Structure 1
Amino acid sequence: MHVETPAYRLTQDQVNAYHHTGFTVARGLFSAAEAADCAKHFDALAETGEPIEGHWAPQPGTDPLARYPRMFHPHLFDAGSKQRLLDPRVKSVLTQLMADEPIAVQSMYYFKPPGARGQAFHQDNYFLKIKPQSCLAAWLAIDPSTPENGGLQLCPGTQDMEVVCPDSSDPAESFTKERVQPPEGHEPVKLSLAPGDVLLFNGSVVHGSGANRTSSQWRRSFISHYMPASATHVGRWYAPAMMDFDGRPVARASNEDGGPCGSLPGDPESGLH
């Protein structure tokens, strides 16, 4: 017999925190067992080291992120990832925060093994180019995520910032090229998350992560991005992956406006945390 997963309701304090700071945490939105199953599944996919065309391309080398790079849009080939992306508990919290029907835009999986570099501070909607609103990220912790193993840092109150043109990051510290300076008066907050916790944050929030400086702790995460159904435009690289919570394809106009930086290729090499 099929048993419906009960909807997860954010408290008013959680909703208020999101609107005041740009982010909130849904503790235990997924169970620790679900997080462990997710890790086991992606570990098995990565075990062979074989690329998955269009989604994952491990490379030889001493950089931990060469062997374990990010995996893009796993929901397009993996049933479990699609189910995770479109989970009714996620829809419930997104609807509370957006006050609109959510549309799934993309999924990603991060392995972040020991020794992996972090990602410089940035804004997600620089890449997704949702308009006239912004995207919303749901960042599912698969392992404990801490400052020591490269957990996320977010700048409270930056959700109302315009998307700004980034400068260049330090390649010794960040595996991506783009960097946005945390604005004065918005000092980054270092978060700790348990497996199954979901961090929800607005696409304008300035955020990033440090290196995984541990010798044995992985910081795996499953990351999804969504937009309100009333949004009219999206970056062209994300359009083929979009769907509603019934799994039906969704179409929107391609946003060719690169904002303060001019046109942006929108390829996964410049992608997200």
Structure 2
Amino acid sequence: MTIVLEPGRTSRQETADAYARDGVVQMRGLLSQAEATEIREVFTEQVERDRSLGYDDHLPADDVLARYPRFVHPHRRADTAAGRLARRWMLDARILDVVRELIGSPLGAQSMFYFKPPTARGQALHQDNLFLQAHPETCLAAWIAVDACDGENGALRVVPGTHRYELVCPQEADPSESFTSVGLTLPEGMAAVQTEMRAGDVLFFHGSLVHGSEPNRTADRFRRSLIFHYVPASSTEIAAFYHPLLTPEGDEVTVAAAAEGGACGEGWEPATAAA
């Protein structure tokens, strides 16, 4: 199980220790129910009125996720209420305070919003920094539950301890279960743990932590989530897709653009990171 912590009742050292051990911590009720409701209503109104913020995942028209596409970088769309709300939460002091405890002074790299309506496919197991390519360290995700979520409606599954591994070579995912085409095989001895979150909980996890989700198997429960990725301010490069980065004050900055990673090659094995 993941470690569930409560703001105001958990010391910085306890938070840091849990993150160092597992690569993931869950903060209970970091956002209020009213705040989660506002996010839910603003983003749902946006997608039902105008899907222009949606990312093109090249899905068939009859896929429910074509009707409810994920939003990528909504914080860059200041012309929309959803965009302004995403930017505000990306720089919110409560979230940034936890981020600083885990990685030091941060830069905001990405915002995302997933709707995951009933019957939607999940996302195969993956590691975020395979995409961000942040160096010399890695990225950190802040995954905000906008709806209550569990295994039935496709809450995240995480693999504690996999943050100690280097990025694992991805393989082809099961298209009946995942809307993305690549996934990965877990290191020997590792197992995925199902999270359960209330609206307003936030899951913070390391860029190498293996995670994913199964389909939403319910008939009437969405699993909406607002997600941010941060990198240490000391980062020297990141994939160009994530430029510009945001300082906590809201200023735009850039670093060197990272080169795309190469193929893993036959017989490649994951290597554990230094302790």
Same fold per superposition (TM over 0.5): yes
Which range, TM-score by smaller chain?
Answer: 0.7 to 0.9
**Aligned mates of 2:194, 2:227 — CA distance in 1:** 18
Unaligned runs of 5+ in 2: 1-6, 78-82, 266-275
- What is the DSSP-based 3-state SS (H/G/I as helix, E as strand, rest coil) of the residue aligned with 1:34? helix
Which range is displaced more, 108-117 or 178-187?
Answer: 178-187
State the match for 2:173 in structure 1. Answer: 169
**1:249 maps to 2:237:** no
**Aligned mates of 2:106, 2:250 — CA distance in 1:** 12
Letter of the 2:167 partner, please give it.
Answer: V
**What does the per-residue CA deviation read over 1:11-44, in whole Å, with 9 as the maximum and x for residues that have no partner?**
3333211110100011111111101000100111
**Aligned mates of 2:226, 2:9 — CA distance in 1:** 21
Unaligned runs of 5+ in 1: 1-6, 263-273
CA contact (8 A) 2:246 2:253 kept: yes
Alignment partner of 1:87 out of 92, 96, 121? 92
State the match for 1:37 in structure 2. Answer: 38
Distance 1:119 1:60, change over 3 A: closer
Letter of the 1:19 partner, please give it.
Answer: A
**Aligned mates of 1:102, 1:109 — CA distance in 2:** 20
**Aligned mates of 1:169, 1:79 — CA distance in 2:** 34
Letter of the 1:69 partner, please give it.
Answer: P
* 1:103-182 correspondence runs (5 A): 103-182=107-186
Where has structure 1 moved over 6 Å in runs of 4 or more?
A: none
1:62 shift after superposition: 2.4
**Aligned mates of 1:96, 1:149 — CA distance in 2:** 31
Structure-1-length-normalised TM-score: 0.88
**Aligned mates of 2:72, 2:8 — CA distance in 1:** 27
**Aligned mates of 1:112, 1:22 — CA distance in 2:** 25
State the match for 1:71 in structure 2. Answer: 71
Distance 1:213 1:252, change over 3 A: same
Q: CA RMSD in A?
A: 1.8
- What is the DSSP-based 3-state SS (H/G/I as helix, E as strand, rest coil) of the residue aligned with 1:237? helix
Structure-2-length-normalised TM-score: 0.87
Distance 1:143 1:171, change over 3 A: same
- What is the DSSP-based 3-state SS (H/G/I as helix, E as strand, rest coil) of the residue aligned with 1:127? helix
**Aligned mates of 2:86, 2:33 — CA distance in 1:** 16
- What is the DSSP-based 3-state SS (H/G/I as helix, E as strand, rest coil) of the residue aligned with 2:215? coil
1:180 shift after superposition: 1.0
